Structures are given as C-alpha cells and as structure tokens.
C-alpha cells in the first residue's frame, strides 16, 4: 500500500517484511511542536495505517533532537479544518474570547488524541529529548512507550493552563505522583518514567531506535487483526473506568483554564513580549525547561 506524503510527517516501514509502520513528526526546526496542521495530518496518517492489514505495529517518533516540545503556541494557519472550528463564535463584540469557541477547538484536538489511543493497531511512542506538554500528552496515548535514559517527560503548560489527555496520568503512575507533576509542572527523566510506570523501558539514546524496532518486531509476530483484538481487550478495561468521560471533561476544564488569573497573565506576557518572554515568565521561577523552550 503506497504511503501518502505529508508536509509535517514522514512515513516509512521497518522491521521484518516491513510489517512495522513508522510515523516521524517532522518539524525538527520547531522541536516537533504540535501545530494544528501536523495534528490533522497525524490523524489522516493513522486512519490510512489502521486500514492497512500489512502494518501490524505503529511507531511514532520525532525528527531531530527531540520527540515533541508540546503544542505550537504560534498562531495557526487558516485551513479547511480551522474553518470548521471557526463556525463557533469565538469572540464577543468587544473582541473577548468566549468559552464555547475555545472548547470546540480543544475538543477537536482531543478527538485526534483519543483516536490515537483507540486505533486498531498496537502503537509505540519512541521518545528521545523532550516529551513535554502536548508532546507528553501524545506519548501517553500510545499503547507502549520506549525512551532514552535522559529523555524528559513533563507538562509545564500546567503552569498557565489546564490539560486534556494528561488526565489519564493517574491511571498510569498513581495518584500521588500524578498530583505532584500536575501541581508543579516538573519533568522526570526517562529512567524515572520507567520506574513510575510512564514508560516500558529506557536505554542509551544511541541504542533506542534499534531496540524499539526489535521490540515492535517481537510484538508484530502476531497478525494485525489478532493484535487489534488484544488491544480492545486492554483498552475496554480502562474505558470502563471512565477514560473517555474524564479526558473530555479535562478538555472542558482546559478551555475554562484560559480564563484564570494565571492564564490572563500569560496572555499579557504573550501580547507584550512574545512567546520567549512568556515562557521565561512561566518557567523562570522553577529554573527548568530552558533548552526545551529555546526554539
């Protein structure tokens, strides 16, 4: 099956007889920031791969020096997908943002994450460098996570907004550690991510790609339809614990989070000094994430 080409993704086949499909987030100059355009392409690529019986396992990785440094905070280009969201009135007559429009856009992105969670393929997030904010959210939607020992997982966006799919964190690592990471926005290393259950295993970064392909190849001994059945077995258990309702509720709260005092200060910093100044204001007191946000 011929692969489509994309502006923000690379698709190739690896492993025995090409039975592993690999999706590379390909915005290395932006540390693979998740723009709307990239996410809509990601959804399209997943839909194609889900229909391809020859693809037994899907690996998602990032080009360049990192997996993904989060959502792209620069203004989105106007695309046909955006137009669907813009049919909701997002501002009042005085130019103030309105919650229904913010919520509509966020739920649209959440639906892409949840499709990744539930697609009928076994998925592996291969993480090196940073998987933070939206990048961390995306990695958690995969069935399995492999990572470099020195990878960084975290959600600094919680320091000025809410979260969406990170609401599954207590299901992965337990309530106490999840609350710690939520309340601080701190990051943890790949080695610690394995210890707390956020990742399956870690390795030196130079071994990560080969080990991940070998790991995927072992899973791909079984055919795609049988793996799909096993995945439904596992996912249904978590769905019965309310994962869909929790994630969509968290997306609503993320939209509402844009109207807190902290969020208004973030908006002021963005307007007056731009993204770098806003990031310095957000993360400066914590003295972390400097290299992740220097893009």
pLDDT digits (tens, 9 = 90+) for 136-158: 999 999 999 999 999 999 998 88
Buried b (16+ CB within 10 A) or exposed e, 74-104: eeeeeeeeeeebeeeebeeeeeeeeeebbbb
Choose the weakest-confidence range: 126-130, 177-181, 245-249: 245-249
Choose the weakest-confidence range: 193-197, 215-219, 280-284: 280-284
Interval 209-237 mean pLDDT: 95
Rounded alpha-carbon distances, angstroms, from residue 225 to 47, 119, 263: 15, 12, 45
Q: How much is the pLDDT for 254? A: 79
Interval 108-135 mean pLDDT: 95
Query: What domains lie within the chain, and their CATH numbers?
Result: 9-293 (3.90.226.10)
Q: How much is the pLDDT for 215? A: 98
Q: pLDDT (tens digit, 9 = 90+) per residue, 152-192?
A: 999 988 888 877 777 788 888 989 999 999 999 999 999 99
Q: How much is the pLDDT for 170? A: 83
Task: Rank 43-57, 159-173, 243-257 by mean pLDDT and report only the highest.
Answer: 43-57
Query: Cα–Cα distance between 151 and 212 in angstroms, integer?
Result: 15
Query: Cα–Cα distance between 172 and 219 in angstroms, integer?
Result: 21
């Amino acid at each position: 099956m011929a692969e489509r080409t994309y502006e923000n993704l690379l698709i190739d086949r690896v492993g025995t007889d090409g039975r592993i499909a690999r999706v590379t987030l390909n915005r290395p100059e932006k540390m693979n920031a998740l723009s709307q355009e990239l996410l809509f392409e990601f959804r399209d690529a997943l839909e194609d791969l889900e229909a391809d019986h020859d693809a037994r396992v899907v690996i998602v990785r990032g080009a360049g020096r990192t997996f993904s440094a989060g959502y792209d905070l620069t203004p989105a280009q106007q695309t046909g997908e955006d137009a669907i969201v813009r049919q909701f009135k997002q501002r009042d007559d005085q130019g103030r943002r309105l919650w229904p429009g913010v919520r509509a856009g966020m739920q649209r992105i959440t639906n892409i994450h949840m499709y990744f969670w539930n697609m009928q393929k076994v998925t592996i997030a291969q993480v090196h460098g940073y998987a933070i904010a939206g990048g961390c959210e995306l990695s958690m939607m995969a069935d399995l996570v492999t990572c470099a020992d020195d990878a960084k997982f975290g959600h600094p966006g919680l320091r000025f907004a809410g979260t969406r799919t990170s609401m599954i964190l207590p299901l992965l690592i337990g309530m106490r550690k999840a609350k710690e990471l939520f309340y601080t926005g701190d990051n943890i290393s790949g080695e610690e991510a394995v210890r707390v259950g956020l990742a399956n295993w870690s390795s030196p970064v130079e071994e990560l790609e080969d080990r991940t392909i070998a790991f995927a190849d072992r899973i791909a001994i079984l055919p795609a339809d049988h793996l799909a059945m096993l995945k439904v077995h596992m996912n249904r258990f978590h769905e019965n614990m309310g994962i869909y309702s929790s994630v969509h509720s968290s997306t609503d709260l993320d939209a509402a989070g844009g109207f807190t005092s902290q969020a208004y200060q973030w908006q002021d910093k963005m307007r007056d000094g731009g993204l770098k100044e806003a990031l310095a204001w957000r993360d400066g007191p914590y003295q972390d994430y400097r290299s992740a946000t220097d893009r």
